[in-house]
Amino acid sequence: MKLAKGLRDSPLLFAHTVLKRELYRWQAEIGEAVDQGSAYDRVRIAVRTPNGSGKSSIVIPLAICRWLDRYPKAKVVLMSADSRQLDSQLMRALFAYRDPHLKHWTFLQRGIRTPQGGQLVAFTTDESQRVEGHHGAKGAPLLMIVDEAKSIETPIFEAIDRCGYAVLLLISSPGLRGGGTFFDAFSLNRQNHICFEISLKQCPHISKEKIADMVETYGENHPLVRSSIYGEFMDLAEGESFIVPFQSLMNMIHNPPGAKISRHEYAAFCDFAMGRDENVFAVRTGNKLMDLVGWHDTNAISIVGRFIMEFRKAGLRPEQIWGDSGGLGLPMCDMLRDAGWPINRFSFGGKPTDEDHYISRGAEVWHSFAQRVSRGELVLLNDPTLVSQLTTRKTTYDARGRLGIEKKDDLSARGVKSPDRADSVIGAFSHGVMNFAAYVGRKQDPWERLEDAYDGFERDKLRDPGLQRQLEGLGAWTGG
């Protein structure tokens, strides 16, 4: 059943009548640009929007459905870098518009077929061979849509350029400045594109609470906030100055490697605090973060007791645990020792093992962790606070060109909270037998021998009876 001509007079009316959606002015203008471009060859449209603007739920479905309604024999090619985005958002949104006016179309897992032979073909850009060979015909022009275009590699765009499209729609949240086809569409190649730059003010449905929460969590100038909320490109130099790149971290979290764990090999790290900062306890085995616990407390005895309860709950021994012994951490490590938990001590300000390249031991473990993230080696928790802390600390340099980490006072001066969870997680991944490569390499079947080695350790007796009584009151005495 073909729609009456009146329902196809404009994107605004089509959205209202067929999709049951009311468009913002900018959404209607993008629809009109796609409409008008269908009468020409090789019209390029570039749209950058904040996250949550409706690009996946409204703008892209509107372009697809209207194109296939106006040209029932035509083809639409939709591609995205993210299979989850394609399947759970874009295709789901399209299927939601099926009733009542588009029931005569066949909706597939990644496609649409019209009775007249028109089609939507959808795929991810890791299937590069599928980009080739798409062309339009008389009365059946080709529309190509690239979702999250900021993440698409140059060879994909080169393949697109070999296709015979009428309209190419590039749409994405902005990401970082400094190159790439999507960024160039708004800079070097702007004259070859019809550009739409959408701001937060043009998306009144994005709640003020969501905006405030993201700004509070990540900071006003974090790349995620500037890109996702404000729809701005972020300066590449500023984005690159963060030790752990946000995009690399999120790629690893959403596409984790296989977990390589062993019941013989655990490492934990304690970050101590009092007042507004968090006490944090992180546990990992192999390449997987098993647990991350954070809490606020101002009582030293209570803090020590809580750590001991976490140690016991995780089934750990003192030799498997490290703690930050700098500043407040020194008396905390002493109290844990007196309570029968002589944990290993670590100072972020200590001497690095590689003095030629790092300013401090803390800089060494932070930058080493960042390298593991870039290689996608770790299995982490998708904890917003952890993500924020990992991706807001900047690289510094000394006069010798050695790598450092931004001081906590400097973090505080620009409104960034102390990276307690990040320090704890990085500490956990920087210690343990897995990191004693020379030691493990000398042993046959190191994982089998490790349990025997650990069984040889015995916990010290509790040395301070007064502290014992206080911990007993908290239910956290280790015994012995």
List per-residue pLDDT tens for the chain, 480 residues long.
Answer: 344 444 457 999 999 999 999 999 999 999 999 999 999 999 999 999 988 899 999 999 999 999 999 999 999 999 998 888 899 999 999 999 998 889 999 999 999 999 999 999 999 987 677 898 999 999 999 999 999 898 888 889 999 999 999 999 999 988 666 557 998 898 878 889 999 999 888 999 988 887 887 777 666 766 667 766 777 776 544 445 789 988 889 889 988 988 887 766 789 999 999 777 999 999 998 889 999 999 999 999 999 999 999 999 999 999 999 999 998 899 999 999 999 999 999 999 999 988 878 899 999 999 999 989 988 989 999 888 899 899 889 988 876 778 899 999 988 887 788 999 999 999 999 987 544 333 334 344 443 444 343 333 333 333 445 555 554 554 443 333
Q: How far apart are CA 378 and CA 260, in angstroms?
A: 9
Picking from 53, 48, 60, 61, the residue whose alpha carbon sits closest to that of residue 18 is 61
Residue 234: phi and psi, rounded to 5, are: -100, 140
Query: Please, what is the angle between helix 300-314 and helix 465-474, to 10°?
Result: 70
Report CA torsion sign: 155, 43, 134, 121.
positive
β-strands 266-271, 321-324 pairing: parallel
Q: How far apart are CA 405 and CA 361, in angstroms?
A: 10
Q: Are 15 and 21 in contact (CB under 8 A)?
A: yes
Q: Residue 80, CB half-sphere, CA atoms under 13 Å: how many?
A: 21
Q: How far apart are CA 176 and CA 115, in angstroms?
A: 43
Picking from 464, 396, 388, 448, the residue whose alpha carbon sits closest to that of residue 420 is 388
β-strands 75-80, 119-124 pairing: parallel
β-strands 111-113, 119-124 pairing: antiparallel
H helices within 122-245, ranges in order?
A: 154-161, 181-185, 208-218, 223-224, 236-240
Report CA torsion sign: 70, 72, 77, 83.
positive
Q: How far apart are CA 97 and CA 143, in angstroms?
A: 19
pLDDT of residue 458: 30
Q: How far apart are CA 222 and CA 392, in angstroms?
A: 7
pLDDT of residue 465: 53
The CA angle 321-325-331, to the nearest 5 degrees, is: 105
pLDDT of residue 12: 93
- What does the pLDDT look like over 56-98, one tens digit per residue? 999 999 999 999 999 999 999 999 988 888 999 999 999 999 9
Q: How far apart are CA 159 and CA 141, in angstroms?
A: 18
Q: How far apart are CA 427 and CA 432, in angstroms?
A: 10
Cβ atoms within 10 A of the Cβ of 1, count? 8
Q: How far apart are CA 47 and CA 62, in angstroms?
A: 14
pLDDT of residue 380: 96
- What does the pLDDT look like over 194-245, one tens digit per residue? 999 998 889 999 888 878 877 776 667 666 677 667 777 765 444 457 899 8
**Distance from chain centroid for Cα 228:** 12
Q: How far apart are CA 289 and CA 261, in angstroms?
A: 10
Domains along the chain?
A: 5-202 (3.40.50.300), 266-474 (3.30.420.240)
The pair of three-digit structure tokens given for residue 410, joined into one six-digit string: 């400097």
In the chain, the N- to C-terminal Cα span, in Å, equals 81
pLDDT of residue 34: 97
pLDDT of residue 129: 76
